[in-house]
Structure 1
Amino acid sequence: MSGVRNGAESADGRETVLSGECVAYSVRESARASRPRIDVRPAGVTVVVPETDRSRVDPDAVLAGHAEWVLEKRAAMAARRERAPDRAYGPGATWPVLGAEREIVVERRRSSTVDRDADLIRLARSHVDRTAHKRALEYCFRETARAEFERRVDALAPEMGVADAVGGVEVRNQRTRWGSCSSNGTLSLNWRLLLAPPAVLRYVVVHELAHLRKRDHSDAFWRIVAAHDTEWERHRDWLREHADELIFDESDL
């Protein structure tokens, strides 16, 4: 991914020109890399080179060899950043949690929680003091997501005839996936689904539970999904169109 603005300076001041565009970049050595690669992320463009080949790799040549790809990724990242909401993590900020905008408050309490009745995100002052608003908020979201996922799975798995096949529920931090189902029946779900409408979150749970009956994406699989979510196509399309609205911070892009 990318997000470097034209003419911006990279960490080590390197720049090159690709198809007439000035691209700032940095170079990072990696003991794990077996060949040069390019990382294009919100923080910038990085040419990653194997430690053993550092003196033999020309970063400008690596970038020139993938110029079109780099520029496409930069443009895509710029568009994503335009769509992504500005995020704040302290008192008074609001977040879309389980279908409603909820305001952050910091209180003296034993634990942080999402108060659905009052439309509040109640952060424990002790947790905020030990870490920071952002860390406390993420922990609250993860724990709330865990409870919501487990509740949904407990309700849907028997309905879909897969209760005995569920191997557990894990809350994950995937950057590119909303959910997955392992061979042992463990469902891994992205905690950022907490920021999506409840019907969309439910669709992802239905989707992964359906994989306990059909491991592929055949017509038979989608018939199972449709039997338990008649609007699954609309929910799938919502995720595709609004994924950038579900970011927690810039590292999600």
Structure 2
Amino acid sequence: MSSSHLKYLSAYPAHVLSQVERLIADGHLADHLLRRYPGAHDVRTDKALYGYVQDLKDDYLRNAEPVAKVAYDSKIGIVQHALGLHTAISRVQGGRLKAKHEIRIGTVFRDAPPAFLRMIAVHELAHLKEKDHDKAFYKLCCWMEPDYHQIEFDVRLYLTQLDLDGRRLWG
């Protein structure tokens, strides 16, 4: 199997990659994902997505700076090779520098399991407090979503499956 099929999993150890290669060779990757995550979430619109992310922020990051906009973005994944984006646009307001935070989530996750959407939203919200992908960042992600690392791995499996046959599993 070509390692280009496993580009989303390149940081994982060889024994994990061999298990994934076996799932792919046996044609069971999609079945594996569907067993773990049987259905899609119902957060379909940008307005619903904003409310969803705002509820997470209120539960875990009440004192963080506000998020001005949350939206699905069809360009994410194609251009930035990302799942979501957190941007802070700085503007001068009354002699002060003010940051306006926006979160964008790839439209591929509009029809995905609830756990996938939550993991991506948690990741982008964590950037309100921690800018870098360091130990403190991942500790914050795991506080908001205890299964963060497993879900991130499964999202990477799903992206691998999408690359292999282009078939969306949910929605």
Task: Compute the TM-score of the two structures, normalised by the length of structure 1.
Answer: 0.41
Q: Does 1:224 align with 2:140?
A: yes
**Alignment check: 8 A CA contact 1:99 1:195 kept:** no
User: Which residue of structure 2 aligns with residue 169 of structure 1?
Assistant: 70
The structural deviation recorded for 1:191 is: 1.6
Question: Greater share of helix residues, 1 or 2?
Answer: 2
Mapping of 1:3-42 within 5 angstroms?
A: none
User: Which residue of structure 2 aligns with residue 52 of structure 1?
Assistant: none
Q: Which runs of 4+ in 1 moved over 6 A?
A: 82-85
Q: 1:159 aligns with which of 55, 59, 63?
A: 59
**Structure 1 residue ranges without an equivalent (≥5):** 1-71, 86-97, 102-113, 117-142
Q: Work out the CA distance in 2 between the residues paired with 1:99 and 1:246.
A: 17
Q: 1:245 to 1:145 in 2, by over 3 A?
A: farther
Q: CA-atom RMSD, angstroms?
A: 3.4
Q: 1:244 to 1:145 in 2, by over 3 A?
A: farther
3-state secondary structure, aligned to 2:88: coil
**Structure 2 residue ranges without an equivalent (≥5):** 7-20, 31-36, 90-100
User: Which residue of structure 1 aligns with residue 50 of structure 2?
Assistant: 150
Question: Greater share of strand residues, 1 or 2?
Answer: 1
- The Cα offsets for residues 78-111 of structure 1, whole Å up to 9 and x where unpaired, read as x99x8998xxxxxxxxxxxx9527xxxxxxxxxx
3-state secondary structure, aligned to 1:154: helix
3-state secondary structure, aligned to 2:44: helix
3-state secondary structure, aligned to 2:70: strand
Mapping of 1:116-155 within 5 angstroms?
A: 144-155=44-55
Aligned length: 125
Q: Work out the CA distance in 1 between the residues paired with 2:133 and 2:152.
A: 14
**Alignment check: 8 A CA contact 1:193 1:246 kept:** no
Ranked by relative contact order (alpha carbons within 8 Å, sequence separation 6 or more), the top structure is: 2
Task: Compute the TM-score of the two structures, normalised by the length of structure 2.
Answer: 0.59
